[in-house]
Structure formats: C-alpha cells, structure tokens
Amino acid sequence: MNLSEIPIGSCATVTKVSGDGPVSKRLMEMGVIPGVEVCVIKTAPLGDPIEISLRGYHLAVRKNEAEAIEVTR
C-alpha cells in the first residue's frame, strides 16, 4: 500500500521509496526513508497536493509523488 491510500488523519510507517528519479531522491533527502512514521494531515482545497508530517515537520507532496512512498500501517 502506498501513502496516497492512507486516510486523512492516519499515520503509517514507510517501507520503501520506489523509483530512482529526482522525485524519490528528493523525498528521501527530506527524510522520507524506511522506518519513518508519516501522518497524512489534509488535502489541498482542490484535492491535490496533500500535507503530511514526519520527523516533527510538515511537507506538501503531490498525490502522484505520494504513490512512490510505500507504507505499512
């Protein structure tokens, strides 16, 4: 399951960031790496991007970017 499938208000643990393009690299550099707990806070008024929190800070990611983040609950 990936992060875009996690309902708003819930948290999950990252298992993998797939792909090796600039998006996944950027996500990992921002600290989205296996073992980290990520919570989904809200979606933007137009439905995309979404706001997530991890390591005590908040991040906006597009839904297609969130799909690269594999998680387990």
Regarding 67 and contact with other proteins (CB under 8 A), the answer is no
Regarding 21 and contact with other proteins (CB under 8 A), the answer is yes
10: exposed, middle or buried (Cβ count in 10 Å: 0-12, 13-18, 19+): exposed
**For residue 12, what are its two tokens?**
């999950």
Regarding 18 and contact with other proteins (CB under 8 A), the answer is no
Rg (alpha carbons) of the chain, rounded to whole number? 11
Q: How many residues sit in the footprint of other proteins (CB under 8 A)?
A: 30
* Binding residues vs other proteins (CB under 8 A): 20-23, 25-31, 33-34, 42, 44-49, 51, 55-62, 65
